[in-house]
Structure 1
Amino acid sequence: MSRGFVRESDQEELSIVPPRADLPSGLVNYVTDIGYQELLLERDNMIYERDNLFIPDENEKRITINFINAKLNLLSNRISTAKIVIPSKQPKSKVCFGAEVFFSVDLDPQINNYKIVGVDEANIAKGKIAFNSPVAKIMIDKKVGDIAILKLENTEKTFKIISIRY
């Protein structure tokens, strides 16, 4: 039936599904083994939530199920395109995906650290940055003692690699 012949009160409001973390087209969806397990757990939790909904209003329940299914479709795409990289199998002498990098910025003696992970794993509050972030990109392939330069609009930041851990 054409939507033109449906009562206005019967039309469902389309849910806006927030996108997952940005993964530009053509970029490989690298994940750590831990990140992959987190994606699977997220999927299982969504399925459990969907299958155990208790919403008495059938219309609201259908809208909620459709929303969860849309989020599951995005997540399933990430899972199916994931390429697992085992950090412990990376070369120990240089910064690669999965590395925890210890560094100083400019002349500040404070040591900072980030772990380079997949886009869905990235969480700056937990010290995890995505492999396609500007900071991770300048550090990839660097060795202990190397300098990585991040060019900003009006200045540059220099990152000195202090140590690398997998």
Structure 2
Amino acid sequence: MNKAFVKEGDQDDDDDLPPGAPPIPPGSKNYITPVGYQRIKDELLQLIDVERPEVVKVVHWAASNGDRSENGDYIYGKRRLREIDRRIRFLTKRMDLAEVVDPSIHHGNDQVFFGATVTYAKRDGEEHTITIVGIDEFDPLKGKVSWISPVARTLTKAREGDTVLLHTPNGAEELEILEVSYPAPTP
């Protein structure tokens, strides 16, 4: 069917990513830490067990009030149900594709892999500490960068004391790796 004849709301919701959610690069796995996987699982269960049933009750009540065309509770509730269902589908797909990688297996290693917390210095002496995490876990304000980010890809497989070259739009930048650490294994 030609896209010209499709209503805006009729698009395939499964292909829509939420705002700010990066797509999984083609041919790669959706690496995620155990903490990130648990966070997604908790959100999914919250949506399924708590939020969705509450909205269904409101929509059912609003539908019983009669005229649905001007019923704000009904219209908003149906919209909220679509949003919740879209999020549930997205989280379910991400969990199905997830490859949980426990960074503690590298505890004591000085080489950068997925899950590493890396402190590096720029040429001007400015230091940064980042943790390399999955694309569903990144939070730049907390120092968590996705494994597909340019800085993570540049640092991966380097060791403490190495100097690597990060290519940026402003030119190449040297980064000296000062420290690499991993969480301790849990008993």
Task: Please report the TM-score for the alignment, with normalisation by the length of structure 1.
Answer: 0.84
SS in 2 for 1:97: coil
Is 1:35 the counterpart of 2:30? The answer is no
Shift of 1:93: 2.3
Choose between structure 1 and 2: higher helix proportion.
2
Task: Report the residue type matching 1:62 in the other structure.
Answer: K
Structure 1 residue aligned with 2:51: 49
Aligned pairs for 1:110-125 (under 5 A) are 110-125=126-141
Give the stretch that moved more between structures: 110-119 or 61-70.
Answer: 61-70
Say how many residue pairs are matched.
Answer: 154
Task: Decide which of 107, 132, 150 is 1:134's aligned counterpart.
Answer: 150
Shift of 1:18: 4.7
Q: Residues 104, 63 of structure 1: CA spacing in aligned structure 2 closer, same or farther, 3 A cutoff?
A: same
Task: Report the residue type matching 1:150 in the other structure.
Answer: L
Aligned pairs for 1:90-129 (under 5 A) are 90=106, 92-108=109-125, 110-129=126-145
In 2, Cα distance between equivalents of 1:44 and 1:105 = 42
Q: Residues 153, 112 of structure 1: CA spacing in aligned structure 2 closer, same or farther, 3 A cutoff?
A: closer
After superposition, the C-alpha distances for 1:36-73 in whole angstroms (9 at most, x for unaligned) are 10110111122221111235333432232122111111
SS in 1 for 2:157: coil
In 1, Cα distance between equivalents of 2:84 and 2:166 = 39
Task: Report the residue type matching 1:102 in the other structure.
Answer: T
SS in 2 for 1:52: helix
Task: Report the residue type matching 2:95 in the other structure.
Answer: I
For the aligned residue pairs, the C-alpha RMSD in angstroms reads: 2.0
Shift of 1:154: 4.2
In 2, Cα distance between equivalents of 1:86 and 1:26 = 21
Residue identity over aligned pairs, in percent, reads: 29
Q: Residues 77, 98 of structure 1: CA spacing in aligned structure 2 closer, same or farther, 3 A cutoff?
A: same
Shift of 1:84: 0.7
Structure 1 residue aligned with 2:68: none
In 1, Cα distance between equivalents of 2:101 and 2:137 = 13
After superposition, the C-alpha distances for 1:111-146 in whole angstroms (9 at most, x for unaligned) are 210000000100001110000000000000000011
In 1, Cα distance between equivalents of 2:129 and 2:24 = 23
Task: Report the residue type matching 1:88 in the other structure.
Answer: S
Task: Please report the TM-score for the alignment, with normalisation by the length of structure 2.
Answer: 0.75
- Structure 2 gaps, min length 5: 1-6, 63-72, 183-187
In 2, Cα distance between equivalents of 1:116 and 1:164 = 11
Matched-pair contact (CA < 8 Å) for 2:131–2:144: yes
In 2, Cα distance between equivalents of 1:50 and 1:129 = 31
Task: Report the residue type matching 2:137 in the other structure.
Answer: E
